[in-house]
A and B are shown apart, each in its own frame.
Chain A
Amino acid sequence: MAGPSMLPTLDNSGELVIESILPHRLFPNRLARGELITLISPVNPSRIICKRVIGLPGDIVCVDPTGLKAPSTEHVVIPKGHIWIAGDNAAWSMDSRDYGPVSMALVRGRIAARIYPFNRFTVFSRAATYIDQ
């Protein structure tokens, strides 16, 4: 697992993670917001990418709060069967801000834990904290 788009959660240089695929194959609709998922890239079918789920079908998502790739007032309603994904490193991530909502059929599984380097062992949980105003 390598690449800068998920800093600081996942490092740029190679890391070993455990990808759990079977629960997603059995229950494809159980995606939680804030979950780390692996999916096949919509722009290149031979690449597998890892991003975070931001929005589920029916949600209204602000396309880019930072204003880099779209005006920060632009919002999108996610169509049925699609999700909005984003990399943690907003400055260097090609995600739904570029190619829009992605179909849930492209999702392969979720990242369950990081096992290498050993001093950074973490288990990624599915729970997300919601901040309500």
Chain B
Amino acid sequence: MPLFPKFLQFSRPITARWVRGVANEGNFRRARSLISRPLRLIYWLPLGLGFTQYFYTVKTIRGRSMQPTLNPDTSGWDDIVVFDRYAIHSGEPIGKGDIVALRDPIDSRKMIVKRIIAVAGDVIKTLPPYPDAEVVVPEGHVWVEGDEPFRTLDSNKFGPVPLALLDSKLTYIIWPLDRIGPLRPPVPPVSKRGDPRDSRWYSDIAAFEREQRRQSRVTTHSTTLSQQNTANLV
């Protein structure tokens, strides 16, 4: 397997100090310098494609349906994020509260990024324009919603989404730099007495309150789980 540092050496004239030592390796290196760049690209392309299809990929988020978690109005750039494809392919149970990219059920060429609110078996109180007031999410489906309820095309429009349409899970934000880092679950920030409350603290509290409001519309199917949820909210 050729290593990249060896490739970089070809742009400099091969001095005696590098060639001396192994007699046939000099011929080999000169022959390899004739391999053109397109061929080297084709050599590495399947590995790169396989990596982005099955492991991680970087994408830009467009649109306002996940504000203020992604693409908030305070930032002048679209968010660039890392999606994890392996989490979906490996068959792990899908977590509630994850942000996922899925194929739009109405227009299969588009990908939409939404948050999973309820999984199979849960009862969710829907928002307009959904015709029914309460929905039991059927087996093998999930209910997704955007964080910005007024500007989103989500399950309140097209109903529960089959799991096969889920494509990848959002794990890391890499741009803009002030929100760089793994996607943080909305937990209330702990602060000691006397700590100044900065804008980050306020936005964490607001995110936690939004998450509480979202989860208040969901009843999990198992009674023991729902009792644990109410205990944590107190």
A99 contacts B138, C-beta separation under 8 Å: yes
| Interchain CB contact under 8 A, A81 and B106 | yes
Whether A42 pairs with B162 at a CB distance below 8 angstroms is yes
The interface residues of chain A lying within 8 Å CB-to-CB of B106 are: 79-82, 103
Question: A28-B108, A45-B140, A81-B105 are contacts. A106–B162 as well, Cβ < 8 Å?
Answer: yes
Bound complex: CA A40 to CA B140 (Å): 11
**Is there an interface contact between A43 and B140, defined as CB atoms closer than 8 Å?**
yes
Decide: A41 and B164 in contact? CB cutoff 8 A.
Answer: yes
A105/B165 in contact, CB under 8 A: yes
Taking a contact as CB atoms closer than 8 A, the residue among A42, A46, A103 that contacts B108 in the complex is A103
User: Which residues on B sit within 8 Å (CB–CB) of A44?
Assistant: 140
In the complex, whether A104 has a CB less than 8 A from a CB of chain B is yes
Contact A28 B140 (CB under 8 A): no
**Bound state CA distance, A42 and B165, in angstroms?**
9
Given A42-B141, A43-B140, A46-B91 in contact, is the A105-B104 Cβ separation under 8 Å?
Answer: yes
* Bound complex: CA A46 to CA B166 (Å): 12
Distance from B18 Cβ to chain A, minimum over Cβ atoms (Å)? 49
A104 to B158, CA, bound (A): 13
Q: A28-B109, A105-B105 are in contact. Are A45 and B138 (CB under 8 A)?
A: no
- B139 and A81 contact, CB distance less than 8 A: no
Query: Are the C-beta atoms of A45 and B162 separated by less than 8 Å?
Result: yes
- How many chain B residues have a CB neighbour from A under 8 Å? 17
- Distance (whole angstroms) from the CB of B161 to the closest CB of chain A: 8
Residues from chain B with a CB closer than 8 A to the CB of A105 are 103-105, 108, 165
Verify A82–B105 contact, CB threshold 8 A.
Answer: yes
Determine the distance from Cα of A11 to Cα of B163 in the docked complex, in whole angstroms: 29
Q: Is B92 an interface residue (CB 8 A)?
A: no
Q: Interface readout for B220-233 with A: 1 if CB under 8 Å, 0 if not?
A: 00000000000000
Q: Does B198 contact A (CB under 8 A)?
A: no
Q: How far is the CB of B90 from chain A (nearest CB, A)?
A: 12
User: Which residues of A sit under 8 angstroms from B158, Cβ to Cβ?
Assistant: 79
Q: Given the complex, which residues of B lie within 8 Å of A106, measured CB to CB?
A: 162, 164-165
Shortest CB distance B119–A (Å): 13
Partner of A41, one of B103, B107, B109, B140: B140
Distance between Cα atoms of A79 and B108 in the complex (Å): 13
Do A42 and B164 touch (CB < 8 A)? yes
Q: What's the nearest-Cβ distance from chain B to residue A39, in Å? A: 9
B104, B108, B163: the one contacting A45 at CB < 8 Å is B163
Which residue of chain B has the shortest Cβ distance to A43 in the bound complex? B140
Contact partners of A82 in chain B: CB under 8 A? 105-106
The distance from the CB of A40 to the nearest CB of chain B, in whole angstroms, is 4
CA distance A43 to B163 in the complex (A): 8
Least CB distance from B227 to A in Å reads 29
Residues of A close to B108: CB separation below 8 A: 28, 81, 103-105
Chain A residues with CB under 8 Å of chain B are 28, 40-46, 79-82, 99, 102-106
> Which 4 pairs show the lowest CB-CB distances between chains A and B?
A105-B108, A81-B106, A103-B105, A45-B164
A-B contacts, 22 of them at CB < 8 A, read: A28-B108, A28-B109, A41-B140, A41-B164, A42-B140, A43-B138, A45-B163, A45-B164, A79-B106, A81-B106, A82-B105, A102-B162, A103-B103, A103-B105, A103-B106, A103-B162, A103-B165, A105-B103, A105-B104, A105-B105, A105-B108, A106-B164
